[in-house]
Structure 1
């Protein structure tokens, strides 16, 4: 809502706001059942005192245009005026509530909303700081790229052949054998998961994972009717996977959210187990190139000689999330199937972005950028680690980061709940609490050192410490 009441108008502020809200209802923008923002939020949006908003809501309630449900909020209600409107407009709230796609958790909705507020210290975000994005070099690259008219039209179903050929050579340097025909260009790693859920699994399938997991904070499989199941013992896979179609999701290198990395032996054991059970593996490897010492074990896909593994990569964590370029490597029938589905959903990823990423890989710009980026990330990680040693000894435990974006902080007491999240948000500090990755986890939070600057990181951690050490109310 960008509208603000006109302080120079002959109409009072509260009358202007009432008229504006009535117009939203009359035109069908706010349909029956629409929940209004809180009084505080409305006051912020309209830049007025809360008392003005209270006056507005009282008049709208008296006119039977809205109603307040205790403990739930204020809604556009089903009165005589709205009954007339209802005959002309669909009941969108009913359509929304009965749609198949699972909504985000409320905490994640708030994270998505406030991440774009420049006043907020983003202490948990999984996005590179604008200061780490190679903007000037990208601008120069755009001047150097020679585009053939066909290259900026629709891509072929699997994506730009030029980019797939460049990726084939790039992956080969990491012992990953993938011909261009076995590579599908996607709009980020999340789209790869969505395509897999639509094209390879039947409803009711099991998606196995180790908790905590990034998958619990997004819903590509749940929305498609799959059951996401966390397992601790291999026996769980052996018993249940015999009954239902299964697939296993893993982030073996610089895991999201914990930052841990599986050993080579652990990778071999996982691959062997899944082979014996005929369970395909989705290897999400978007952080692999951000290992500080560049010595992580090889990808599970590099050990795969039977087409067991679907490998997912991306430049969103290394080059720019806005380019929306990722890739999937798999057996050709799988890639052909998912390419067909992708063409039905978005008709191909950005042609310009594909040409740019191909140019960066072919010219060595990408490798040089990775070397520089790893050093910068390591400096930030060391800074956050030093602050934790200084301020959180005795309050929490954590492992020193070896790469990637995150430190998985475990507080000594289970206080990382919605209340703490909201208190920090009120102090303009945004965290990613552990319960969005595992619903029962109130000890952990995912700290990120890649977005906020050094001053903000220190300020955010000190605010966190102040709140967690404050006397209980």
Structure 2
């Protein structure tokens, strides 16, 4: 594929850092370096590191790797960790395109913003799901691009609408700009979508990929909830069906190991991953070494079988929370709202009934006064459209608090619906 046509002018202008480009040579045997402008590790006060797992097991990290983690290292991440993740992608996704590259970042949000900057040419349009991740929107709305929403439903993104938008462009351009180039990139959260909790079915994914092939669209697959699927086997990823090299996949350790260690990784065409690395060279230089060692040391100890057993336990944890939450929704919100039971992730997208057209004031004011927090749906709408929808999450609430939280939310919804009925 010709990837340069997708790149922004700013991304094309990025060149390797003269110093960072030497990094792979620093650790070469027999190399004597006069180039390094890095602090001498002998001055660091840290001698070793170990962690205690909840199982009681103590993992002590390799001394040489620990010393290495305290210093500057490869832009794409600690080589041993990078290779471990590369093998994980092969085992889990079996990508058809073998010549992919992988880079580690400070969380997938770090990598996502760098990827988007790579495509964000002033005046261009970008395809996004509606609704979609608020963290993505907060960045994209600061970029010089116009967002083009694509509907989603209980089976994920609507590929037929995607095809209509691209086939009929610019007639279906929501900005009304007749001379705007057709979008070239689709951003999707295909599993346990934030905010909807909905996952794209395999049939939808296959059809969406076909549409993207037809119109030569790149897919940014932002998939932090992939391993939080409640059914087995897991629904295959876009990366697993990418015969063209048009998928840039984002993964995260935030939902399965720790959100605080800020570890994410991007996998995809080498040309695109290289552009992200060039961005990193000029901003944060590399992902932090100690969190990488914490993750790699544990994963190397577990092995791949141990990792898969762990993510199965994590998915089962959230599935049990989902079940309790669903029971409370049925008990308190039936007739007041509609929702799709999520098959992955941490969220439920609730559409309020009773004549409620805008959830914003109800959630931010009335629900808060009733001591229950949720997120109004407008936060997830690409064009800031008003919506009766609300995002709720069952991830961190204790099981014995779930029913009371839903009861409090139901109370303000019922009062609002009653007031609407009286006014009409």
The two structures have a TM-score, normalised by structure 1, of 0.67
Alignment match of 1:160 (pick from 53, 78, 81): 78
Query: What displacement does 1:244 show?
Result: 4.1
Q: Unaligned 5+ residue runs, structure 1?
A: 1-134
1:426 aligned residue:
369
Q: 2: CA distance between counterparts of 1:305 and 1:346? A: 32
Aligned length in residues: 339
* Inter-CA distance 294–355: structure 2 relative to 1 (3 Å threshold): farther
Residue 180 (structure 1) shift: 9.7
Asked whether the equivalents of residues 360 and 366 of structure 1 are also in contact (C-alpha less than 8 Å), the reply is: no
Can you list the C-alpha shifts for 1:152-183, whole angstroms capped at 9, x where unaligned?
31221111111111111112222244879700
Structure-2 separation of matches of 1:147 and 1:224: 43
2:38: which partner in 1?
A: none
Alpha-carbon distance in structure 2 between the residues aligned to 1:345 and 1:398? 42
Q: Distance in 2 between matches of 1:217 and 1:304?
A: 23
Corresponding residue for residue 350 of structure 1: 288
CA deviations over 1:125-146 (Å, ceiling 9, x no partner): xxxxxxxxxx951797774211
RMSD: 2.4
Task: Determine if the alignment matches structure 1 residue 171 to structure 2 residue 89.
Answer: yes
- Structure exhibiting the larger radius of gyration computed from Cα positions: 1
Name the counterpart of 1:309.
247
Tell me what 1:437 maps to.
380
Q: Distance in 1 between matches of 2:138 and 2:221?
A: 17
Question: Secondary structure of the residue that 2:243 maps to in structure 1?
Answer: coil
Give the corresponding residue for 2:261: 323
Question: What is aligned with 1:55?
Answer: none
Q: Does 1:299 align with 2:237?
A: yes
Deviation at 1:237, TM superposition (A): 1.9
Q: Is 1:410 equivalent to 2:355 in the alignment?
A: no
Query: What TM-score, normalized by structure 2, do the two folds share?
Result: 0.74
The equivalences for 1:27-66 within 5 A come to none
* Equivalent in 340, 345, 349 of residue 399 of structure 1: 340
Q: Does residue 1:337 correspond to 2:261, yes or no? A: no
1:456 paired with 2:401, answer yes
3-state SS of paired residue (1:322): coil
- Choose which of 405, 414, 419 in structure 2 pairs with 1:469: 414
Pairing 1:264–2:202 present: yes
Hey, what does 1:137 align to over in structure 2?
53
Give distance in 1, aligned partners of 2:99 and 2:299. 15
SS at 1:472 equivalent: helix
Match of 1:238 in 2: 167
Give CA-to-partner distance per residue, 1:235-266, whole Å, 9 cap, x none: 21234388245210112222221111222221
Residues 1:214 and 1:308: Cα distance change in structure 2 (over 3 Å): same
